[in-house]
A and B are shown apart, each in its own frame.
Chain A
Amino acid sequence: MDLTIFERFFGPTWPAVWTLAKIVAIVVPLLACVAYLTLWERKVIGWMQVRRGPNRVTFFGLRWLGGLAQPIADAFKLLLKEIIIPSGANRFLFVLAPVMAIMPALAAWAVIPFAPELVLADIDAGLLYVLAITSMGVYGIIIAGWASNSKYAFLGAMRSAAQIISYEIAMGFALVGVLMAAQSLNLGDIVVSQVGRYGFLSWFFIPLFPLFLVYLIAGVAETNRLPFDVAEGESEIVAGFHVEYSGMTFAIFFLAEYANMILVSTLCSIMFLGGWLSPFAFSALNDIAFARWLAAPGFHWLAAKIFVVVFFFLWFRATFPRYRYDQLMRLGWKVFIPITLIWIFVLAVWMMTPLWPW
């Protein structure tokens, strides 16, 4: 595509405009995915509970489209509702909290490689950047809980802060294993280092299997999803940190949660499941034309992997009851952190032996 016309039109501001255009090209499809993820979640959980899920709101009255317009109807409902700021709440922080929640969920996408060379910011310490940015997400929850001036919200914020800090350590250690195996902090390089002769057998989820499990479960806990959603805990503290939020301020918390879910799934796919690589890239099949077509890497493979991992999140929600708080803390501190530490040690020894094929 020839962009020189635009380049001449915008003059010296062109780099900024071009970067903004790229950001929009990432964020808009992401928000569309978030909207339809809510519908997909309700559908999947409906099917798992032998219900049909949302099936009324549809486009142009076409019955066979089912509930396809449900996210749009939900969005309009939330947009039109009144935002109530409780008396005694800290107005500025009350409004700032949803912003603090959605900012990391969107900013972390800057370093995610979608396909070979297709990344907004190809920075050297991409993995660290993701970890640092996502660790700021907890401020949205804490500030929301405190600024609401409500006991339930405050309890939810306290629970969430303790939980996220506990699981972040295990998550960070799992990432240490990944960067040891890949010898790089750049997410693109991490994917490239999983290229091998045996297709999906050369991805990192095999040598790093315990870390993969820890990362996936800690990711569920980090996003405050069931069975780790004690920060919301409808049956105990009504809705936790966002009990006082209504309308669009609530919707932004909701968006942040689902965007974080997709983010964790994407990182999981990139670090452990080979990112954009094809699972059928066996070097033995190189002579067959069909196999070559199947083995071509590309964004579609990444999208398929993200879809599968996100499905796990929904499946967990439909399957497991909520953890009790002490069990949750025990799992984080006494199970996950020792597992990751031991596996980092095993990995270090393993990588020094000739048995390490990666």
Chain B
Amino acid sequence: MTFQQFVFYVLAGILLFAALRVITARNPVHCALFLVLAFVSCAGLWLLLEAEFLAIALVLVYVGAVMVLFVFVVMMLDINLSRMRTGMFSYLPLGLAVALLMVLEMGLVLWSHNVELADMLPPAAPAADYSNTRELGRLLYTEYVYPLEIAAVILLVAIIAAVALTLRRRKNTRYQDPTLQVSVRREDRVRLVSMPPVRRETEGANTAPGVSAAADPQARGAP
């Protein structure tokens, strides 16, 4: 067994274990974290295929952004674990049927061509200056530019739809307008008061100098 095969089996083993735990772990947060582990091991497998751009993009997009939001939401939910687990066996036959159907479909595709491992030769080793990223970009923006644009438009529509469905304007929402906050000047908030010094005349008088000055309208400066 070469070193590469060893790495492949280790990563594949971790991937299968993590994927299994995603559906069997009791705590939803653990499920989400196992999904992260599954993505990372999958990225490792893609690196073995020398698809480094896809592998890094998988980590960047799914692990770094999508799953963070996922974990974020799952942690906020107040999930009743015991109620989640009831009814598992009533759904089991349906789930098994769907799984069997999927296995059958995959089998049909694989067997209909009657391919063997020997038919799938490894691709020729690329040249030293071959850049995976550059090739992918060239293909995406020349040959597949219309599918790419259509996919982008579909995603944009999905974003707008999601915002439109969830946006709810409440009448009494309080918010601050940053432009108003920034444009505040000192004169709007602080009033300088010029107060002539007041001598305390009698010992034991209970009017403090500041109070008497503020009460005296003559002592106030012009606004």
Q: Which residues does A use to contact B, with CB under 8 Å? A: 93, 123-125, 128-129, 131-133, 135-136, 138-139, 142-143, 146, 154, 157-158, 161-162, 164-165, 168, 185, 326-327, 330
Q: Is the interface of A mostly helix, strand, loop or mixed?
A: helix
A128 touches B63 (CB 8 A): no
Across the interface, which residues of B come within 8 angstroms of A131, CB to CB?
60, 64
The 7 closest A-B pairs by CB, nearest first: A135-B64, A132-B60, A132-B59, A128-B56, A132-B56, A161-B72, A146-B75
In the assembled complex, B132 has its CB within 8 A of some CB on chain A: yes
B60 touches A135 (CB 8 A): yes
* A334 → chain B closest CB, angstroms: 9
Give bound CA distance, A128 to B132, whole Å: 12
Considering only residues 46-73 of chain B, those with a C-beta below 8 Å from chain A are 52-53, 56-57, 59-60, 63-65, 68-69, 71-72
16 examples of A-B residue contacts, CB within 8 angstroms = A123-B52, A124-B52, A125-B56, A128-B133, A132-B60, A132-B64, A133-B59, A135-B64, A135-B65, A139-B36, A139-B68, A139-B71, A146-B29, A157-B75, A158-B72, A158-B75
Across the interface, which residues of B come within 8 angstroms of A132, CB to CB?
56-57, 59-60, 63-64
**CB 8 Å contact bits of B116-132 with A (1 = contact, 0 = none):** 00000000000000011
A168 touches B64 (CB 8 A): yes
How many residues of B are counted as interface, with CB atoms below 8 angstroms from the partner's CB atoms? 24
* A13 → chain B closest CB, angstroms: 11
Q: Which residues does B use to contact A, with CB under 8 Å? A: 29, 33, 36, 52-53, 56-57, 59-60, 63-65, 68-69, 71-72, 75-76, 131-133, 175-176, 178
Across the interface, which residues of A come within 8 angstroms of B52, CB to CB?
123-125
Give bound CA distance, A227 to B29, whole Å: 31
Across the interface, which residues of B come within 8 angstroms of A123, CB to CB?
52
| Known contacts A165-B65, A326-B176; A136/B59 CB under 8 A | yes
For A125, A154, A157, A168, the residue with the greatest tally of chain B CB atoms inside 10 Å of its CB is A125
B68 touches A138 (CB 8 A): yes
| Known contacts A125-B133, A327-B178; A136/B72 CB under 8 A | no
Measured CB to CB, the nearest residue on chain A to B40 is A136
A161 touches B68 (CB 8 A): yes
* B187 → chain A closest CB, angstroms: 23
A125 touches B132 (CB 8 A): yes
